[in-house]
Structure 1
Amino acid sequence: MHSINEFLAGIEQYLGGSQWFTLVLLGTGLFFTIYLKFPQIRFFGHALKVVRGKYDKADETGDTSHFQALTTALSGTVGTGNIAGVAFAIYLGGPAALFWMLMTALVGMTTKFVEVSLSHKYREKDEQGFISGGPMYYMKNKLKMPWLAAFFAAMTIVSSFGTGSLPQINSISSSLHSTFGIEKMLSGGILAILLAIVILGGIKRIAKVTEKLVPAMAIIYFVGAIAVIFYNYQNIIPAIESIFSSVFTGTAATGGFLGAGFAYAFNRGVNRGLFSNEAGQGSAPIAHAAARTEEPVSEGMVAILEPFIDTIIICSLTGLVILSSGVWNEKFSNQFQSTDMSIMADVYDDANKDDQSKLFNFLNGRKELPLFTGELLVENGKIQNKLSIIHARSIAENILVYNTQDSLFTGNINVNNGVYYENSEAYFKGESLIHSAPLTAEAFTRSYLGDWGRWIVSIGLLLFAFSTAIAWAYYGGRSVTYLFGAKGVFPYRIIYCIGFFIASFADTTIIWTLSGITIALMALPNLLGILLLRKDMKNTLNTYWTKFKSEYPNG
């Protein structure tokens, strides 16, 4: 597993984790923001009226209402990115990463507006009479680039696993296991069956489920988050200051957190921001294409609300919960994952300034440090060698080694270049930083609810992530229809559910790395496409307003 993760991480650092990709993503959103004169601000009020159905017409073509299209798209974006992804970004880049997540959402509101409008404009009906839309259709019908459309559709299918299926159930099963002790395989099996029941019913059943699920899960999570923030009211201002004070400098070492530079916080924040709201990725336009309207721009208006709700509201809440509770730089008892471990050859102290600097440069890829190779000598669970173990980007403390019977281990463990390869003999437990869903769950316990706060995270994550898996099954299914016809959808959904089950007990680090790759491979052709159609977008927008003002002179 460690070798696989290293291989994927090597690819990911040149794609989703690279600085050029984040600049392309933000640059495209910023270009359209200026080119279309800040539509995310000018049209926000109009978007609220459209989604409420004020301008709906009963005879228009489509399979869902504006609200159902919005909730289906939101169910695809409001997921682990809002709970686990925010925690993961802060864990990697410190509080400043949250700022870049929010900036990604702000320009992402425009990107969503553009990609949804264009995809809706060039949608089609499939052989079964259902609406099919998405970036592959404007690539084929307007740009006359079927090869690019085919590539995008193929990457959407891959990304439906890397973004929509695997990380979602992995976070669900990890949260349920840490909170309630439920075996990951059991929760994965039950939810895979429920997923199959929903997605085999097609878009109309999906829309009916998501229009009820999305509002319910948002309310539950909002109430729990507010309880934490108000409980730690004295930390609200310091938490907000920490987000903005280190935006351009990076976050210094504090507590168990060994620091993060500007570039790392920027890249992680933008990357996790995209994972959360998917602006520019080209996924949400597939759901919006099914909306009942003949006006592509009106559906684009609805899409403006997505990054606002998903990232600016929900991710900000999660970030304030984590920062105000203070858990982000604290060490907690946990079982170590080998992919998160580096066994060092020397001893380090995170309270020592010189050691902090060395480890900061090591973790941020600026300087190599000697890694241990040889045998770890373990007696009654305690490591006898004089060395330090880095786990979850922090110096691990109070480490004990256990055997597979959960008894303290005695014996030797082979280590090569700092890497302990998981085997049937032993595993490590100790205190270190934690990340993803467990970090958010810990933060929710620092409130009036106490340990009951874990329930909020587990239930919220269950609903958020499950609804995301539902939506991405639809996205992947539409892409399968584009490439292979409707006959390929049923086999795809079966494979999707099987992958969903397997990911419930797979390594989380590998899954997050895979998601970073698939995000980039989807986003790049979509960003290229909408830039090529910039004039088409502006003309379509102008035509929409001319027609709208003639039909509704009073707005």
Structure 2
Amino acid sequence: MQYLDVLKTFFDTVGGWVWGPVMLVFLVGTGIYLSLRLAFLQFTMLPFALKQAFTPHAKNRDGSDNQGDISHFGALMTALSATIGTGNIAGVATAVVLGGPGAVFWMWITAIFGMATKFGEGVLAVKYRIVNERGEMSGGPMYYIERGLNWKWLAILFALFGTLASFGIGSSVQSNSVAHSIQASFGIDPMTTGIVLTVFTAIVILGGIKSIAIASSFIVPFMAIFYVVGGLVIIFMHLDLLGPAFATIFRDAFSGEAVAGGAIGTVIRYGVARGVFSNEAGMGSAPIAAAAAKTDHPVRQALVSMTGTFLDTIVVCSITGLVLVMGGIYTNGETGAALTTQTFNQLLPGPGGWIVTVGLVFFAYSTILGWCYYGEKCASYLLGEWFVLPYRIIYVASVMIGTIASLDLVWAAADTFNGLMAVPNLIALVLLSGVIVKETRDFVAKRKSGELP
């Protein structure tokens, strides 16, 4: 077992570098750069984007359907199924513990600029997508790196990192979280949970993107509404704590008083890191789902993709962050999901803890579904469409393994590969930013002329 410890140490070291200050600056810096080039489109077009996300996809003038596999809403829900996960519950709690309440503010800032990043990813995903051998859409960073930059080697690296990350962050780590959460709350053996979870996962993902989109379109709205409503009930029950909570967040964001030594850099670091971990803006995962959407223009789907960051961080993460600060017990030594559960229970005795447990189970399960599609597309890019079925079988098996295995090494490796995915993607976003701007201007012009609705 000693070599496993050495391997874990290696991935911990590499992961620490990958997710260090340079990466966080690159991630947020790309969002700032795109925001400036797009004239802060995330503010001016957010209402229109939200409307597009929740209305049927536009058809052509002659009534024919647009090219694609799933609707705008289906693509958004598939992407959200992967992004709304344990980071919204455990990740926010970790940020508040390690960075103080001010970390919540920096999560908001990261999301604002991340919306521009997610928009850029969506534009490129649709513009450079292809129809594969099975007649389905394939797109994402590997395709816009290859077809936009003509850098096949960099596209291969992204696909490799994405495939490897999917088995960890996408499946085994999530199933492990579900199994242990259910065991703690209901005393059910992880093996039993693993069998049930594996069967339900297999039923959905063996049907491909259309099956995943249908399941996600049901699970994601349900779980998000359930969790957000539960959080809002707590907030409205303790409105007297809301004002002081906001004051604490804003004060600590620029002072770092809640962090040992008053380190403002620590507040920013954990706010940015957990914000990116939660909404995945810049990671290159969400555009893989965006590429499958039926749409008449790359920008229309990009706007829909952009709303994912808003819903994930500005809405869902904010609920967790506000409740944690209102509860005020983030210095008691607990962290992660345990702290969130304790805080919800304190402010809403009884049902509070259940809200977190149920939310965590559904958040993690939906992440398993969404990441299967991401990993499948990365794997098929590397090895061909024939590998789709073998990949799905291996992925389902990793879900079962995750519920009963110790995952310290898997988590360390997956976290590293997940961070490495961002490097090729961010390079492409910066170098292809001119294409993003050009497509955006084209969409605006066509809407003004009446050519597009």
TM-score, scaled to structure 1: 0.77
C-alpha distance in 2, partners of 1:329/1:141?
50
Shift of residue 510 of structure 1? 5.3
Aligned to 2:339: 439
C-alpha distance in 2, partners of 1:500/1:26?
32
Matches within 5 A, 1:431-470: 433-448=333-348, 450-470=349-369
Larger radius of gyration, structure 1 or 2?
Answer: 1
Higher mean alpha-carbon deviation, 71-80 vs 258-267, is at: 258-267
1:7 alignment partner, one of 10, 13, 31: 10
Matched, 1:545 2:444: yes
Matched, 1:234 2:213: no
Superposed CA deviations along residues 523-547 of structure 1, whole A, max 9, x for unmatched, are 1100000111111111111111122
Aligned to 1:344: none
Matched, 1:34 2:36: yes
Matched, 1:296 2:266: no
1:189 alignment partner, one of 185, 192, 195: 195
Shift of residue 263 of structure 1? 2.8
Q: Any conservation in 2 of the 1:114–1:300 contact (CA below 8 Å)?
A: yes
Aligned to 1:477: 376
Q: Any conservation in 1 of the 2:255–2:262 contact (CA below 8 Å)?
A: no
Q: Any conservation in 2 of the 1:66–1:292 contact (CA below 8 Å)?
A: yes
C-alpha distance in 2, partners of 1:186/1:260?
46
Matched, 1:154 2:160: yes
Matched, 1:174 2:177: no
Matched, 1:20 2:22: yes
Shift of residue 50 of structure 1? 2.1
C-alpha distance in 2, partners of 1:480/1:511?
19
2:268 alignment partner, one of 258, 266, 269: 266
The DSSP-based 3-state class of the residue aligned with 2:36 is helix
C-alpha distance in 2, partners of 1:260/1:488?
52
Matched, 1:504 2:403: yes
C-alpha distance in 2, partners of 1:33/1:93?
26
Superposed CA deviations along residues 312-343 of structure 1, whole A, max 9, x for unmatched, are 1100001111121223112xxxxxxxxxxxxx
Matched, 1:204 2:210: yes
Matched, 1:488 2:390: no
Shift of residue 201 of structure 1? 0.6
Aligned to 1:399: none
Structure 2, unmatched stretches of 5+, are none
Q: Any conservation in 2 of the 1:231–1:446 contact (CA below 8 Å)?
A: no
Superposed CA deviations along residues 99-136 of structure 1, whole A, max 9, x for unmatched, are 22211111000000001111110100111111101111
1:309 alignment partner, one of 301, 311, 314: 311
Shift of residue 515 of structure 1? 4.5
Shift of residue 2 of structure 1? 6.4
Aligned to 2:111: 105
C-alpha distance in 1, partners of 2:107/2:175?
23
Structure 1, unmatched stretches of 5+, are 331-432
C-alpha distance in 1, partners of 2:97/2:421?
26
Shift of residue 78 of structure 1? 0.7
C-alpha distance in 1, partners of 2:73/2:343?
32
Q: CA RMSD in A?
A: 2.0
Change (3 A) 1:156 1:93: same
Shift of residue 499 of structure 1? 2.0
Change (3 A) 1:282 1:197: same
TM-score, scaled to structure 2: 0.93
Q: Which has the higher strand share?
A: 1
Superposed CA deviations along residues 54-91 of structure 1, whole A, max 9, x for unmatched, are 66004211111111111111111111111111112222
Letter in 2 for 1:106: I
Change (3 A) 1:13 1:223: same
Change (3 A) 1:259 1:188: farther
Q: Any conservation in 2 of the 1:165–1:499 contact (CA below 8 Å)?
A: yes
Change (3 A) 1:2 1:498: same
C-alpha distance in 2, partners of 1:195/1:245?
44
Change (3 A) 1:159 1:28: same
Q: Any conservation in 1 of the 2:101–2:258 contact (CA below 8 Å)?
A: no
Shift of residue 157 of structure 1? 0.7
Shift of residue 232 of structure 1? 3.4
Aligned to 2:428: 529
Q: Which has the higher contact order (CA 8 A, sep 6+)?
A: 2
Superposed CA deviations along residues 467-520 of structure 1, whole A, max 9, x for unmatched, are 111010001111111111111112212222222222224456656544432232
The share of aligned pairs that are identical, in percent, is 43
The DSSP-based 3-state class of the residue aligned with 1:445 is helix
